[in-house]
């Protein structure tokens, strides 16, 4: 305290000058309309700028919470749309229609794209009803499927995994194929087993077929970027650019199929368990 008093005493002349300057400015502003208007306009602009910067800073640091909330709302809306769509079909056909899918939003907390077998980790698990073999999608398209689950986390097999195959269809022609990554470019996958009598073109859309019972039908996979057909080859070499850039993946939606257990049970009884 003594040092502070000594400081003020030592610089008393400067502080007296500063106080008189402030007093002069105040008197000038109070007694002159033009100067007063200029001062208050300038101070308002400065205050508005400071408040705007402060608000922008608060919004920036709350982006994570905002994104998580938007992800949850997106999943809820997708579930509502699914139910309304099925309800509409039921109303038109006069038959009861089962709601096929529910959606759970999750944040990606770990993701690899540089390995031959890439995986993702998300922050939802058994507590959210997630189970192995459930599909994972994003707002841009296919992501992968659930491999293993703990109470609060899940590990997903990425589409960028050389062992992962997705039953697919060329939307324009309706021909089926299989999407599989070759382990090179994380933006490009191959569409296999499209026969040579088909005429695919650059720009064709590739979507999920729904045949494997994991992914819903019609989920976007990507766009055909390269079409090749070797002499005597039975199938095309099609290169597809993924709609989802996995290097920018932050949120996913887990697709919970209500009918898959019934389908798997029926196929096991009829055909037998897969070897």
Is residue 230 located within the same domain as residue 199? yes
Give the domain CATH number at 149: 2.40.10.340
Q: Residue 72 belongs to what domain range? A: 64-257
Predicted local confidence at residue 81, as pLDDT:
63
Q: How far apart are CA 11 and CA 3, in angstroms?
A: 12
If we measure between CA atoms, which residue out of 77, 98, 76 comes closest to residue 87? 98
First and final C-alpha spacing in the chain: 84
Predicted local confidence at residue 45, as pLDDT:
62
If we measure between CA atoms, which residue out of 215, 231, 135, 200 comes closest to residue 167? 215
Is residue 155 located within the same domain as residue 208? yes
Is residue 55 located within the same domain as residue 89? no
Is residue 221 located within the same domain as residue 167? yes
**Is 268 among the domain residues?**
no
Is residue 100 located within the same domain as residue 27? no
Is residue 46 located within the same domain as residue 170? no
Is residue 57 located within the same domain as residue 152? no
Is residue 194 located within the same domain as residue 183? yes
Predicted local confidence at residue 91, as pLDDT:
43
Is residue 150 located within the same domain as residue 24? no
Residue 232's CB is within 10 A of a number of other CB atoms, namely 6
Predicted local confidence at residue 150, as pLDDT:
93
Is residue 18 located within the same domain as residue 77? no
- pTM (2 d.p.): 0.65
CA distances from 44 to 22, 26, 38, 40, 157 (A): 19, 16, 10, 6, 55
Predicted local confidence at residue 67, as pLDDT:
66
Is residue 31 located within the same domain as residue 52? yes
**Is 129 among the domain residues?**
yes
Please tell me what DSSP assigns to residue 195.
Answer: B
Predicted local confidence at residue 236, as pLDDT:
95
Q: How far apart are CA 134 and CA 254, in angstroms?
A: 7
**Is 102 among the domain residues?**
yes
Predicted local confidence at residue 92, as pLDDT:
43
Number of compact structural domains in the chain: 2
**Is 262 among the domain residues?**
no
Please tell me what DSSP assigns to residue 246.
Answer: G
Is residue 27 located within the same domain as residue 116? no
pLDDT per residue rounded down to tens, the chain (275 residues): 777 778 777 877 887 888 888 887 777 767 776 656 665 556 656 655 665 666 566 555 556 665 666 666 666 666 566 555 544 444 444 444 446 788 888 989 999 999 999 999 999 999 999 999 999 999 899 999 999 999 999 999 999 999 999 999 999 999 999 999 999 999 999 999 999 999 999 999 999 998 877 888 899 999 999 999 998 899 999 999 999 999 988 889 999 877 766 766 776 788 765 55
């Amino acid at each position: 305290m003594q040092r502070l008093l000594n400081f003020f005493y030592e610089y008393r002349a400067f502080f007296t000058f500063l106080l008189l300057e402030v007093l002069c400015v105040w008197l000038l502003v109070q007694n002159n309309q033009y100067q007063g208007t200029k001062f208050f306009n300038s101070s308002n602009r400065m205050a508005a700028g400071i408040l705007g910067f402060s608000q922008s800073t608060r919004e920036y640091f709350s982006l994570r919470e905002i994104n998580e909330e938007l992800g949850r709302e997106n999943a809820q809306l997708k579930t509502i749309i699914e139910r309304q769509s099925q309800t509409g079909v039921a109303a038109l056909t006069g038959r009861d229609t089962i709601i096929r899918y529910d959606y759970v939003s999750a944040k990606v907390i770990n993701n690899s794209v540089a390995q031959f077998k890439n995986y993702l980790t998300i922050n939802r698990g058994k507590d959210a009803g997630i189970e192995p073999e459930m599909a994972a999608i994003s707002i841009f398209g296919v992501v992968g499927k659930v491999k293993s689950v703990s109470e609060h986390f899940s590990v997903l097999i990425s589409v960028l995994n050389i062992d992962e195959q997705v039953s697919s269809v060329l939307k324009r022609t309706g021909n089926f194929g299989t999407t599989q990554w070759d382990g090179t470019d994380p933006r490009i996958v191959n569409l296999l087993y499209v026969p040579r009598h088909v005429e695919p073109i650059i720009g064709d859309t590739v979507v999920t077929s729904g045949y494997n019972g994991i992914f819903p039908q019609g989920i976007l996979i990507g766009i055909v970027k390269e079409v090749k057909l070797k002499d005597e080859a039975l199938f095309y070499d099609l290169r597809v650019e993924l709609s989802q850039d996995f290097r920018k993946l932050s949120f996913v939606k887990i697709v919970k199929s209500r009918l898959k257990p019934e389908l798997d049970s029926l196929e096991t009884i009829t055909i037998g368990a897969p070897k």
